[in-house]
């Protein structure tokens, strides 16, 4: 199965900053059942892996980028806030969220699980819609460095071409 790759920018909503310079990247069919998503992320220095669900409210991280690999099941996620993109993701798909990008789960199958990770051992903060922290959030998002590796492909891959500051 060939991986389909798409990318898009999530617009600033006023409540959720999203990322003004880096697009969201979706890898459809990046993994099949034989590969360990956790191992692949870790090999490419996207660490701190965890397996679980996605919160059912809009949230974002100002201090790190995040990768989510769908380990099992399927889900609809909303990216970028209430007027953002709705993505249908299934096992094997990968979603890379630049710092500041809002995301939440709208619905999912019972067996839905993702593997999350962050570049270079970063630990995520957790922010929700709050216009009062906007200036600080935007300032922090701009300081997050572009990762040196693509979480799926390592030293090559779409992230390295699409994420250039």
Number of domains in the chain: 1
Residue 164 lies inside a defined structural domain of this protein: no
* pTM of the shown model: 0.95
Residue 154 lies inside a defined structural domain of this protein: no
Structural domain containing residue 92: 4-148
* 157 Cβ contact partners less than 8 Å away, ≥ 6 residues apart: 149, 150
Residue 57 lies inside a defined structural domain of this protein: yes
We report the CATH number of the domain holding residue 129 as 2.60.120.10
Q: Provide mean pLDDT across the span 6-27.
A: 93
Residue 24 lies inside a defined structural domain of this protein: yes
Give the C-alpha distances (Å, rounded to integers) separating 102 from 127, 128, 136, 140, 148. 9, 8, 16, 15, 23
Residue with tokens 């250039």: 164
pLDDT band at 131 (very low <50, low <70, confident <90, very high): confident
Residue 110 lies inside a defined structural domain of this protein: yes
Least confident of 32-36, 65-69, 83-87, 105-109: 32-36
Residue 124 lies inside a defined structural domain of this protein: yes
Residue 165 lies inside a defined structural domain of this protein: no
Residue 26 lies inside a defined structural domain of this protein: yes
Instruction: Tell which residue, 43, 69, 64, has the closest CA to residue 54.
Output: 69
What percent of the chain has a predicted confidence (pLDDT) above 70?
97
């Amino acid at each position: 199965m060939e991986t389909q790759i798409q990318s898009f920018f999530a617009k600033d909503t006023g409540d959720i900053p999203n990322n003004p310079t880096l697009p969201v990247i979706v890898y459809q069919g990046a993994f099949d059942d034989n590969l360990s998503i956790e191992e692949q992320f870790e090999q490419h220095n996207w660490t701190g892996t965890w397996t679980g669900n996605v919160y059912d409210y809009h949230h974002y991280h100002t201090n790190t980028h995040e990768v989510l690999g769908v380990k099992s099941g399927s889900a609809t996620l909303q990216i970028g806030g209430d007027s953002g993109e709705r993505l249908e993701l299934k096992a094997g798909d990968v979603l890379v969220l630049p710092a500041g990008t809002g995301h939440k789960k709208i619905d999912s199958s019972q067996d839905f699980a993702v593997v999350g990770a962050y570049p270079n051992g970063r630990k995520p903060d957790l922010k929700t819609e709050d216009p009062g922290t906007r200036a600080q959030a935007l300032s922090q998002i701009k300081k997050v460095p572009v990762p040196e590796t693509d979480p799926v492909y390592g030293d090559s891959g779409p992230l390295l071409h699409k994420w250039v500051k």
